Amino acid sequence: MSAEMYEDDSAGGDRHTAGRRRLSGKKLILYILLPLLIIALAVGGLYFSGILGKVLSGVGIGSAPVAAAAATGKDARSTDVVYYPLPDLLVNLRSDTPRPAFLKLKISLELSSAAERQEVEKKLPRVLDTFQTYLRELRPDQLQGAQAMFRLREELQARVNAVIRPITVREVLFTEIVVQ
């Protein structure tokens, strides 16, 4: 009798589980995870492109951060800017070949006020010395490409900010760059 009982339970169990099937791993990925991934990528793309911020500010969600960013953005920045052109720099680059390599730079510093410009003028010899010392250690192959120019700009900005502290230079702008 006990053997018959076990057989009936197994047969009844199969009927109940046959109606309620589990999702296989492939179906779970295809029907649930893949659409969620596509939605996440679309929202991320809209966010980083700036479209999502515009849509949300039109609806009223997140309008305060967008307005604050607009007030401190390029419009507010362009009204209080003073440019200070540095004298031309001509530097002999480090080279492993017998042929000398030179770098000619024309640089302008972006400052916040005319008072900061006067402070930079007072410390100009130290700024030029810092630039010359750094630039002389560069090799011509380190100045090729857009990434190299970006790194050079950031390095010069960090060095000038260290020299003229507590004043900060907003940007280092290249007017002319010649590597020969």
**Residue 143 sits in a domain of what CATH number?**
3.30.479.30
Same domain, 64 and 98: no
* Of 76, 111, 136, the domain-final residue: 76
Same domain, 68 and 98: no
The domain of 152 spans: 81-179
By CB neighbour count within 10 A (0-12 exposed, 13-18 middle, 19+ buried), where does 137 fall? exposed
- List pLDDT tens digits, range 139-161: 888 888 888 889 999 999 999 99
pTM for this prediction: 0.54
Same domain, 69 and 88: no
- Could you tell me which residue, 11 or 149, shows the higher pLDDT? 149
Q: Which of 3, 1, 177 is nearest to 90 (CA)?
A: 177
pLDDT of 80 > 90? The answer is no
What is the C-alpha to C-alpha distance for residues 180 and 178, in angstroms, rounded to an integer? 6
Q: What's the mean pLDDT in 29-40?
A: 86
pLDDT number for residue 158: 92
Same domain, 146 and 175: yes
pLDDT number for residue 18: 54
pLDDT number for residue 66: 45
Same domain, 99 and 165: yes
Same domain, 67 and 144: no
Q: What's the mean pLDDT in 21-36?
A: 80
* Of 29, 57, 76, the domain-final residue: 76
3-state secondary structure of 87: coil
Same domain, 172 and 86: yes
Same domain, 59 and 11: yes
Q: Which of 154, 113, 117, 115 is nearest to 134 (CA)?
A: 154
Same domain, 167 and 87: yes
Same domain, 53 and 136: no
Q: What is the separation, in whole angstroms, between the first and last Cα of the chain? A: 100
Same domain, 54 and 115: no
